[in-house]
Structure 1
Amino acid sequence: MAGSTMSYDADALPQVADAALVEGTYRKVTLKLMTFLFFCWVLNYLDRVNVSFAQLQLKHDLGLSDAAYGLGVSLFFIGYILLEVPSTLLLKRIGARRTVCRIMVLWGGISTAMAFMTTPWQFYLARTLLGAAEAGFWPGIILYLSFWYPAARRARITSRFLLAIAAAGIIGGPLSGFILQNFTDVWGYKNWQWLFFLEGIPAVVAGVVAFFYLTDKPEQATWLSLEQRQLIRNALEEERGSKPANAPGRLITALRDPRVYVLAAGWATVPICGTLLNYWTPTIIKQAGVANILQIGFLSALPYIVGAVAMLVIARSSDVRLERRWHFALSTTAGALGAVALTLLTHNWVAAIVCLSLISISYFAAAAIIWSIPPTYLKGDAAAGGIGVISSLGQVGAFCAPIVLGWVKSVTGSFAVGILLVAALVFIGGIAVLIGVPRERSSR
């Protein structure tokens, strides 16, 4: 009996050691890279959506109507859409260090310069340039993660990255409310000017740090042992070998793949939900009966907390079951139901927070899941370009939604019609992925 016990332990020890090595390796990669990228994404969202808080005073000072504000929000997506694919392809060629540095320094500088706007056309120009500067950051990071993590870990690691959006919402609401309440006419500047300035400068600094801190590929990671680098390479090679022989490898081939456009429709649900969550939440809460700016800031954080927790649970479930389609469709359905209920409960701030939380679940969980699908069947330039195409096409909805919501609000005095349209588009996007993405491809 003693001999059989020793034989069992001898067989088991290498397996335990291998598992410990794998987990230790990816834990080290996550701490090294994801901690910094998480911080960068927090800054990205702070600088992108702080206009939703600034608008409470900005519209009056610049003479903007709700429709004009909605147009300015939407102009962000023109340059963003046009430059997504080129920027993502460029990252594949020159690496993440140079790409992230360029993007962050430009967007931080433009966001800071928004503190000195005095006319509507300057607001429109700044939003357009900000979108062009930020183009490629999100799809570029998704591509960058595929250089380090195999498919079985991708939804979970993407969800952790997306927690930065939740963190930006959780931090940004109270922070923006604090700045707006306490920096009125400090040194002769408006509170919204201080908001843009104080939240823009850190992005410039982080961009410079990114150039020296990030590592482009695992084989260049001197902070990993040779064994750890080989482990990552082997996992990625195994994944590449499991792809079908006819998996798209060239951009032109990916553009002919209908799944790219189905996934673009699915991805569009995320920025559409984000339009409500990121650009109109303070206004919705104010209309529900909350007047204090600081209270609006704190209440605006609640939907992000709910969405973040739900995303972690849903993304883990999706990875464990290697199932994407139903997880995505159910997440978007929650968002659609939340949007519909919001039109009926606009004068109750507690109910409004609940509805915004359902929209937040769709926003975060759907984003974490959708991006685990393309790298499983695209490779090479098709992966870089395809991810960029999916991202840029999906942002068309983000371009149209603020214009429609702002116009509807100006004409009717209510968000109801626009929000119902959002609910319909989000639900349709979820069904498109459920039907249009083959089960065997989405679960690889």
Structure 2
Amino acid sequence: MANASPAAADGAAAAGLAGDRALEEATFRRITWRILPIFFVCYFVAYLDRVNVSFAKLQMLSDLQLSEAVYGVGAGIFFIGYCLFEVPSNMILHRVGARRWIARIMLTWGALSIAMAFATGERSFYVLRFLLGVAEAGFYPGVLLYLSQWFPTARRGRITALFMAGNPLSGIVGGPLSGLIMQSFGGIAGLASWQWLFIVEGIPALILAVVVFLALSDRIEEARWLSPAEKDAVRRALAADAQAKTLRSFGSAFASPRVWLLCLVYFGVSIGSNTVGFWQPTIIKGAGIGDPLRIGLLSAVPYLVALTAMLIAGRSADRLRERRWHVVVPLLATAAGLFLCGSFRGEIVPAMACLSLAAAGIVTTIAMFWALPTAFLGGAAAAAGIALINSTGNLGGFVSPAVMGWLATTTHSLDAGLYGTAAWLVGTAILVLAFVPARLVDR
């Protein structure tokens, strides 16, 4: 029998390669639809439970006789507990698996979010916010670690953006929902509206803890919903991606100057994020809107803009295989938006435009930022490094509201805090361009 011609052999090889690519695309689509909706909803609830205190503040401060400075410290002390337990939490997740540990995280944070309804003064407010941070520690970096074990770097810009869409959606839906609760639930069962806010918005986390435990698979090998061929396709893609990882051990993450540099970068990002998250309702109220429901409805607008911008940026980053400028440009947009918020205080239309720019910039920045460390961290280094960056960076979550609250109490205005945050974000953008090499992260 005659041997096949070279042309026929080439054709068969090309057909085989096309078949492998089609299988890989179909498999990753299947994985996306299996796990992304769960994490998307979890992050929606997590962010809602973290920042709903910004709506509760509109009435809680007078009921509990708390000052703006106390609110700022209480809002920020969440991140002290969060940062102290972030790395241990992620290392436990790396050992026991995401299914059990993320379910535990959601169960405890849901319970503590509900307990916030029963704060009676400054001390209990501080303690409950601290414990809420301890409870949530590890969720966000744990999800990022989990996604890195299922998706190669070239796919994670869009995937991270889809996961992160829970953040702006919590503003789109959560703002009006919080406003409606604040307007409608006051006095039921003898509880104030801000107390009902914490109770109603804490319950979904308890339900999702059960969903996570039942629906997730810790490893590709345990995913009964994938065929052997699909599992092989994922393993091949991840194995090829792993060759580009330069840090893999636990100790290498702590010894790497690049990891500590990204901790500093994320510190700046966190300052910007929490300035927008914790003070947006106050900015809208300062522009002349007094009704809680109207404040909630208006607060959805910036996050709607942010959701669109983030999804576009995620696709762009993956298509162009470019990461640094997809972080820098949104950082500068956030700085411009916050600076202009201080300049248009008291004017609702310009204030909403500036808030929209700031929210779009910072939400996009967060989603795009995580493509930087996950491009060179793998294995235990990814578990430790992602948690270290998130925990130390999130110290900005304590500094931002504490300083903003102190400045608001001292100057009776948010302007100084907004201008300072804008300047810090410009410096953070320069840091990324100057010290994060494109060859390390652009792929």
1:230 Cα deviation from its structure 2 partner: 0.8
Distance in 1 between the 2:426 and 2:181 partners? 37
Q: After superposition, give the CA deviation of every residue in 1:246-266 in whole Å (9 maximum; x if it has no partner).
A: x22222222221111221222
Q: In 2, are the aligned partners of 1:163 and 1:308 still within 8 Å (CA)?
A: yes
1:361 match: 360
1:182 match: 184
1:414 match: 413
> What is the SS of the residue equivalent to 2:150?
coil
1:193 match: 195
Comparing 353-362 and 164-173, the one that deviates more: 353-362
1:109 match: 111
Distance in 1 between the 2:11 and 2:180 partners? 59
Distance in 2 between the 1:17 and 1:354 partners? 48
Pairing 1:346–2:345 present:
yes
Distance in 1 between the 2:12 and 2:384 partners? 48
Pairing 1:376–2:375 present:
yes
2:299 match: 300
Distance in 2 between the 1:258 and 1:241 partners? 21
1:403 match: 402
2:132 match: 130
The letter of the residue matching 1:140 is G
Q: In 2, are the aligned partners of 1:85 and 1:392 still within 8 Å (CA)?
A: yes
Q: After superposition, give the CA deviation of every residue in 1:307-357 in whole Å (9 maximum; x if it has no partner).
A: 111111112111111111122111101111111111100111111111111
1:13 Cα deviation from its structure 2 partner: 4.3
Within the candidate set 93, 104, 107, 1:91 is matched to 93
Within the candidate set 209, 213, 236, 1:234 is matched to 236
2:285 match: 286
1:172 match: 174
Q: In 1, are the aligned partners of 2:73 and 2:402 still within 8 Å (CA)?
A: yes
Distance in 1 between the 2:433 and 2:317 partners? 14
Distance in 1 between the 2:256 and 2:190 partners? 56
Comparing 173-182 and 359-368, the one that deviates more: 359-368
The letter of the residue matching 2:437 is P
Pairing 1:256–2:255 present:
yes
Comparing 258-267 and 331-340, the one that deviates more: 258-267
Q: In 2, are the aligned partners of 1:64 and 1:120 still within 8 Å (CA)?
A: yes
2:429 match: 430
Distance in 1 between the 2:277 and 2:343 partners? 20
The letter of the residue matching 2:363 is F
The letter of the residue matching 2:113 is S
Within the candidate set 48, 68, 71, 2:70 is matched to 68
Pairing 1:326–2:350 present:
no
2:82 match: 80
The letter of the residue matching 1:281 is Q
Distance in 1 between the 2:272 and 2:375 partners? 26
Distance in 2 between the 1:399 and 1:335 partners? 19
Distance in 2 between the 1:298 and 1:20 partners? 43
Q: In 2, are the aligned partners of 1:179 and 1:194 still within 8 Å (CA)?
A: yes
Q: In 2, are the aligned partners of 1:162 and 1:368 still within 8 Å (CA)?
A: yes
Percentage of identical aligned residues:
44
1:46 match: 48
Alignment map for 1:197-208 (pairs within 5 Å): 197-208=199-210
- In structure 2, stretches of 5+ residues that fail to align are 1-6
- In structure 1, stretches of 5+ residues that fail to align are none
Q: After superposition, give the CA deviation of every residue in 1:177-197 in whole Å (9 maximum; x if it has no partner).
A: 111111110121111111100
Distance in 2 between the 1:261 and 1:295 partners? 42
Distance in 1 between the 2:184 and 2:359 partners? 29
Q: In 1, are the aligned partners of 2:244 and 2:376 still within 8 Å (CA)?
A: no
Aligned length: 439
The letter of the residue matching 1:92 is H
1:6 Cα deviation from its structure 2 partner: 9.9
The letter of the residue matching 1:189 is L
Distance in 2 between the 1:70 and 1:90 partners? 31
Q: In 2, are the aligned partners of 1:376 and 1:442 still within 8 Å (CA)?
A: yes
2:314 match: 315
The letter of the residue matching 1:347 is G
Q: In 2, are the aligned partners of 1:263 and 1:370 still within 8 Å (CA)?
A: no
Comparing 106-115 and 234-243, the one that deviates more: 234-243
1:369 Cα deviation from its structure 2 partner: 1.4
Once superposed, which parts of structure 1, at least 4 consecutive aligned residues long, lie more than 4 Å away?
5-13
Pairing 1:118–2:120 present:
yes
Q: In 2, are the aligned partners of 1:336 and 1:426 still within 8 Å (CA)?
A: yes
Q: In 2, are the aligned partners of 1:311 and 1:368 still within 8 Å (CA)?
A: yes
Distance in 1 between the 2:344 and 2:437 partners? 38
The letter of the residue matching 1:184 is G
> What is the SS of the residue equivalent to 1:187?
helix
Normalising by structure 2, what TM-score? 0.96
Q: CA RMSD in A?
A: 1.8
The letter of the residue matching 1:357 is S
2:3 match: none
